[in-house]
């Protein structure tokens, strides 16, 4: 069983650094979700990530670095848009896809000639990246296709038998994964909506192409139609529509943006007392996990407004319901 250490303790960081340098995996907190990290330059360690997650090798990994200064070591086409976005959003929940340097193994990038780079802002992630002084490949620390973990306990519940060490940094403040923005062509493309909103990106670099619908995109398997999915069937309904009456003899759960009076549901979860989308994102994955373990036949999910981080919430809900 994995050991959980308090990531704010310097001893824990040293232990994690030694493990990463020895080619082992370490789960660590970021401001978005917990990551399952390995030395990105060590192919054997990276191969372990794919094995532990049961992740298909066509799905490339995000490489986490301490700061912008190390980007030229791993990427080549760092243009003005990249510099502007890094300056505005790093450290933070934005991942940039750039043309890769040969030092990044093909296994990390699934054979693409591009690499996804991100500088996380969580203090434990920052302490780890600073001390290890290596690029860390890290997908979300969950079995492929399942809901991402937002606490150390979520990681232990799903992967505790397969890994040795989990750094605990408390619940993730953002709660949905980073925004993935590709800058490899003239037109910037949002491959995955996430913690930084499309509006915020556009305010810095102008219009971007945004994947509005959950079309499978071979460039970013995080955009596969069924992903981030709990086991219980989810049914999305439009925001503000009357709620369906739960079928007699069925245990139906309900996921709402904010509290309201309902009848007949076995379990009701809401994402934010005041209907705040940022708070809702932070609570989303933990709520989905609770609903998934409540012994329900199905869950009705009310849509949230699709603006700001609401776009990332709806993206995850659509895939979870697919």
Residues found near Mg ion in the complex (CB under 5 A): 140
For residue 234, the minimal CB distance to ligand TXA (Å) is 19
Name the residue whose CB lies closest to ligand TXA.
222
User: DSSP characters for 19-46?
Assistant: HHHTT--EEE--SSS-EEEEETT-HHHH
Q: Could you give the residue ranges of the DSSP H alpha helices within 96-184?
A: 106-109, 123-132, 152-159
What does 25 interact with, of ligand TXA, Mg ion, none (CB < 5 to 8 A by kind)?
A: none
Task: Provide the strand spans (E) within 74-225.
Answer: 94-99, 114-118, 136-137, 165-168, 179-182, 189-192, 209-210
Residue 219 interface partner, choices ligand TXA, Mg ion, none, CB cut-off 5-8 Å depending on type: ligand TXA
Nearer to ligand TXA, 153 or 297 (CB): 153
Please say which residue, 166 or 296, places its beta carbon nearer to Mg ion: 166
Rounded-to-integer distance, Cα 52 and Cα 318, Å = 26
Choose from Mg ion, ligand TXA, none: what does 192 bind? Cβ within 5-8 Å by kind: ligand TXA
Yes or no: say if 97 and 181 are a contact pair by the CB < 8 Å rule: yes
Report what 33 binds from ligand TXA, Mg ion, none; CB cut-off 5-8 Å by kind. ligand TXA
The DSSP bridge partners found for residue 252 are 298
Q: Where are the alpha helices (DSSP H) in the chain?
A: 10-21, 43-53, 71-74, 80-89, 106-109, 123-132, 152-159, 198-205, 277-292, 310-321
Measure the CA–CA gap between 64 and 49, rounded to whole angstroms.
Answer: 14
Closest distance between ligand TXA and the C-beta of residue 55, in Å?
Answer: 8
Q: Which partner, Mg ion, ligand TXA, none, binds residue 61 by CB below 5 to 8 Å per kind?
A: ligand TXA
Q: How far is the CB of 228 from ligand TXA (least distance, A)?
A: 9
DSSP letter (8 states) at residue 69: G
Nearer to Mg ion, 105 or 145 (CB): 145
Q: Which is nearer to ligand TXA, 74 or 265 (CB)?
A: 74
CA distance 192 to 154: 23
Q: How far is CA 242 from CA 75, 135, 239, 285, in A?
A: 50, 49, 9, 24
CB of 110 to ligand TXA, least distance (A): 7
- Whichever of 62 and 124 has its CB closer to ligand TXA, that residue is 62
Return the number of the residue (140 or 272) whose C-beta is nearest ligand TXA.
140
Minimum Å gap between C-beta 321 and ligand TXA is 18
**List of long-range contacts for 240-246, beta carbons under 8 Å, 24+ apart:** 243/300, 243/302, 244/300, 246/300
Query: CB-wise, 62 or 304, nearer to Mg ion?
Result: 62
Query: Minimum CB separation from ligand TXA for residue 222, in Å?
Result: 2
Site residues, ligand TXA (CB under 6 A): 30, 32-33, 35, 59-62, 95, 97, 109, 112, 114-116, 118, 120, 138-140, 177-178, 180, 191-192, 219-222
User: Least distance to ligand TXA from the beta carbon of 1, Å?
Assistant: 22
């Amino acid at each position: 069983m994995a050991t959980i250490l308090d990531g704010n303790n310097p001893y824990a960081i040293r232990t994690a650094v030694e493990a990463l340098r020895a080619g082992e995996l370490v789960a660590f907190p970021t401001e978005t979700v917990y990551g399952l990290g390995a030395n990105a330059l060590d192919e054997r360690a990276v191969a372990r990530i794919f094995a532990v997650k049961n992740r298909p090798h066509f799905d490339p990994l995000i490489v986490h670095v301490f700061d912008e200064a190390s980007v030229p070591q791993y990427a080549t086409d760092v243009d003005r848009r990249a510099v502007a976005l890094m300056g505005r959003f790093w450290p933070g929940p934005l991942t940039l896809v750039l043309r890769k340097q040969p030092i990044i193994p093909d296994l990390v990038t699934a054979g693409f000639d591009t690499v996804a780079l991100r500088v996380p802002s969580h203090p434990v992630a920052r302490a780890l990246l600073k001390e290890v002084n290596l690029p860390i490949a890290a997908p979300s620390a969950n079995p492929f296709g399942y809901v991402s973990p937002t606490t150390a306990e979520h990681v232990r519940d799903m992967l505790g038998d397969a890994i040795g060490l989990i750094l605990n940094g408390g619940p993730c403040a953002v709660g949905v994964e980073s925004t993935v923005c590709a800058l490899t062509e003239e037109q910037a493309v949002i491959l995955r909506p996430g913690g930084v909103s499309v509006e915020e990106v556009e305010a810095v670099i102008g219009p971007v192409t945004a994947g509005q619908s959950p079309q499978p995109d071979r460039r970013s398997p995080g955009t596969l139609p069924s992903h981030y999915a709990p086991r219980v069937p989810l049914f999305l309904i439009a925001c503000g529509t009357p709620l369906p009456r739960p079928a007699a003899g069925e245990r139906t759960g309900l996921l709402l943006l904010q509290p309201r009076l309902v009848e007949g549901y076995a379990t009701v979860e809401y994402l934010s007392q005041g209907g705040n989308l940022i708070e809702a994102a932070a609570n989303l994955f933990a709520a989905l996990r609770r609903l998934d373990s409540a012994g329900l036949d199905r869950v009705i999910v009310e849509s949230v407004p699709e603006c700001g981080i609401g776009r990332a919430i709806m993206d995850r809900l659509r895939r979870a319901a697919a």
